Every structure is written in structure tokens, then in C-alpha cells.
Amino acid sequence: MHPPFLNAGNAGPFTLDGTRTYRIGRQRAALIDPGPDVGSHVRAIASWLSDADSVEIVLTHGHADHAGSAPALSDALAARVRGPEGAPGVDEPLRAGDEVGTDEGTLVAIPTPGHTPDHLCFHWPDRKALFAGDLLLGEGDTTWVAGYPGCVADYLESLERIRLLFPDCIYPAHGPPITDVPAALARYEGHRRRRIAQVRRVLEAHPGASPEELLEAVYGPALPAGVHDAARASVEALADHVRGAQATS
């Protein structure tokens, strides 16, 4: 049986059907990725957790669609916030191997950088499950990987780190549960490596290609409306990855 969740209703091209906020535990509960700071969502979560004796709010990363409501819910639920250092409202930073206890099992922090440099996943060994934040989405074959040097290499290493945990199910923050985990991990890795290969071919033919030229070569007219800036950042990250590999070869 899958864990219960509330959907923040913030559907969009990057959030799919919205941010899913998961609850693990009844009396001693953990709330994973409380979602955006939207009044109706905050009130719904506060009501949902009103029967718990204690609550810990757990963040995979600090993006507003995941962590924006953490300060408000910390006050409403008298709950401490745990997650990456510097994320909104974090009272106690979590690092590799740190545990969050609930009455339905322990969650273990797994560093999975790539989407952000401090991104965490949470392994739920008792259920052979993983809460993935934005490492993977419940649909498709890609998530946003950009924004800092080395993010592409980090992302590929994070996928391998998760693969070695052998989870039976992955719960992303956006979209439905992933039950065929090996296929999903292969799909996400394959997509990223194909993009790397595309950018490498362009740079081999045109070493000075601009980000806009790379964007056109990789996506062409198929680029969906509203995602231009994110796609541009993504190809820039891919180009940095390729150039770094070329410099060390």
C-alpha cells in the first residue's frame, strides 16, 4: 500500500499534477516536502496532521514548490524542520546517513545532488521504498539539471547511488509512484546521456556554439512553450560537462 499524500494543486510543466506532500507515520509522523506556501494547502496539511503526537517536517531541497510552506507549518504544528542546510526554515541540517524516525519505520537521508547541489532523497528501508523529491518525476524521462558547475556528473552519480539501494518503489514529489524502478532509472540515465552525446556532436563541429545555437540544435521547434529559459540552462550545463570531459581527456 502506498503512503498517503496531499497534492498542493500547483500543476505545471515542471510540477506535473502538483507537489505531492507525503505523510509517513501516524502518532510519530514525518511530513516530506510540505509544498508551496499556499494558504489552502497549509491549512489542509495542518488539519491532516492534527491527530499526530509529534511531527517532523523533512525537505528534499529548498525550492519553493517543495519547501515554501515549511516555516508556516513549523509554527502551526510545533514541528522542527529537517533537510539540507540553508533550505527554508531548516532547524536541523540532514547529512548522509542521518535518520528521521516515525512509527512506520525510519527514513535515511541519501545525498543526491544534480537537481540542486544539496538535494536529498529519503530511503525507507522497511518498505524498500524511496522518496525522490525532484531526482525523478513520476512521468517522462527527464528532470531539471542545471544551475551549478558539475551538476550533470552529480546527477548521473546520484542515479547510480539510488540504483544500488534496490528500491521496489520510488515516490517522486511530482507524478505517480514509480514501480518499475530499474526501467525508470535506465530511462532517466539514457535521456541524459543522449543529451550529452547531442551536445558533444554539436561542439565537435562548432566549438564556439552559443547557448542559443545549442538549444536550437538539441530541441529545434519541438521545444515546448514556457520552458525556454530552463532548457537553455540545461544545455549550458551539458556543454560545461562536455567541455570539462574534453579538457581532461
Sequence-distant (6+) residues with CB within 8 A of 99 are: 106, 107, 108, 109
**What rounded mean pLDDT belongs to the chain?**
94
Among the residue ranges 16-20, 181-185, 207-211, 220-224, the one predicted with the least confidence is 220-224
Return the higher-pLDDT residue of 86 and 27: 27
Does 249 have pLDDT greater than 80? no
Instruction: Look at residue 92 in the predicted model and tell me its pLDDT.
Output: 95
Does 217 have pLDDT greater than 90? no
Question: What does the pLDDT look like over 95-141, one tens digit per residue?
Answer: 999 999 999 999 999 999 999 999 999 999 999 999 999 999 999 99
Q: What average pLDDT does the segment 201-221 reach?
A: 88
Q: What CATH number is given to the structural domain containing 103? A: 3.60.15.10
Range of the domain at 135: 5-180
Assigned domain for 220 exists: no
Assigned domain for 111 exists: yes
**Whole-number Å distance between alpha carbons of 249 and 201:** 16
Instruction: Look at residue 79 in the predicted model and tell me its pLDDT.
Output: 96
Q: Structurally, how many domains does the chain consist of?
A: 1
Instruction: Look at residue 97 in the predicted model and tell me its pLDDT.
Output: 97
Does 244 have pLDDT greater than 90? no
Assigned domain for 187 exists: no
Q: What average pLDDT does the segment 130-157 reach?
A: 96
Measured CA to CA in angstroms, residue 122 lies from 16, 33, 78, 88 at distances of: 21, 11, 22, 18
Assigned domain for 225 exists: no
Instruction: Look at residue 222 in the predicted model and tell me its pLDDT.
Output: 75
Phi–psi pair at 222, nearest 5 degrees: -80, -5
Instruction: Look at residue 247 in the predicted model and tell me its pLDDT.
Output: 67
Among the residue ranges 82-86, 173-177, 195-199, 203-207, the one predicted with the least confidence is 203-207
Assigned domain for 143 exists: yes
Assigned domain for 154 exists: yes
Instruction: Look at residue 218 in the predicted model and tell me its pLDDT.
Output: 86
b/e burial code for range 21-58 (CB count within 10 A of at least 16 → b): bbbbbeeebbbbbbbbbbeebbebbbebbeebebbbbb
Assigned domain for 48 exists: yes
Question: What does the pLDDT look like over 19-57, one tens digit per residue?
Answer: 999 999 999 999 999 999 999 999 999 999 999 999 999
Assigned domain for 249 exists: no
Residues of the chain with pLDDT > 70: what percent?
99
